[in-house]
Amino acid sequence: MAKLAFHAILAMAALATVTPARAEVTNTADNGFTVQHQTLIDGNAEAVWKAMIAPSRYWNGDHSWTGDADNFYLVPQAGGCFCELIRTTSADNIRTSDGSVQHMRVIYAHNNKMLRMSGALGPLQSEAVTGTLTMLLDPQGEKTAVRFTYKVGGYMEFPVDQIAPAVDGVIGEQLTRLAALFAEADAAETDGQDSSADPADDEKMDAAEDDNRD
């Protein structure tokens, strides 16, 4: 399953309509890397937050263990789980399912502002690494600037120069798919508009993260 997931992320293509701005591997070392994606979503912070904490709506099922995004769920409070049920039928719940998988654990949740989770995603789960995903929201009028930053560090057998771009693609894809929920809901107004965040928003996003840190 891990090998299939690894090949899937290498083959992933981002949605063309809402490509996140300044997608990149921002830092690499022998034992880890950082990837970051940012975009401007056509929705207010509350609406974006509600969508973001419902991974079954946008997280690609190709990056699941069951192949079905409907099996994802997330509890947006400290200690809560971004998990996946292993179900025999769609009616199975956490008590009747065959099992479950923890993708990440919530370590910081501030409604409509920031969600931070700890966990090694996909094929990294079997490695001796830790991963921290920070999902930051910054209101921009009726729109919301959203930044996903994922930091990975520790011992792993994957070469960093290969796994970092692959993980970068996966994180970027999920942000693209989140933004697409709002583009699809208002296609007439968003058609032909640039959904990328203004480069000048970087400092605002950094300030918003600092405010949440205090």
Q: Give the pLDDT of residue 207.
A: 67
Tens-digit pLDDT profile for residues 35-85: 999 999 999 999 999 999 999 999 999 999 899 999 999 999 999 999 999
Task: Tell whether pTM > 0.95.
Answer: no
Burial class (CB in 10 A: 0-12, 13-18, 19+), 12: middle
Residues 138, 23 contacting (CB under 8 angstroms): no
Q: Is residue 77 part of a domain?
A: no
Q: Is residue 90 part of a domain?
A: no
Residue 41's beta-bridge partner residues?
Answer: 144
How many domains is the chain partitioned into structurally? Answer: 1
Q: Is residue 80 part of a domain?
A: no
Is pLDDT above 70 for 133? yes
- Mean per-residue pLDDT, 135-164: 96
Residue type, position 203, single letter: E
Tens-digit pLDDT profile for residues 92-109: 888 888 889 999 999 999
Q: Is residue 192 part of a domain?
A: yes
Domain CATH code at residue 162:
3.30.530.20
Q: Is residue 101 part of a domain?
A: no
Dihedral pair phi/psi, residue 116, rounded to 5°: -125, 130
Residues 132, 117 contacting (CB under 8 angstroms): yes
Q: Is residue 118 part of a domain?
A: yes
Q: Which residue has the higher pLDDT, 202 or 35?
A: 35
Residues 106, 115 contacting (CB under 8 angstroms): yes
Q: Domain range holding 18?
A: 2-60+106-213
Tens-digit pLDDT profile for residues 11-35: 333 333 444 455 678 888 999 999 9
Residue 95's contacts (CB-CB under 8 Å, 6 or more residues apart) are none
Is pLDDT above 50 for 6? no
DSSP codes joined into one string, 45-109: HHHHHHHHT-GGGTS-GGGSSSS-GGGEEE--STT-EEEEEE-SSTT--TTTSSEEEEEEEEEEE
Residue 162's contacts (CB-CB under 8 Å, 6 or more residues apart) are none
Q: Give the pLDDT of residue 16.
A: 38
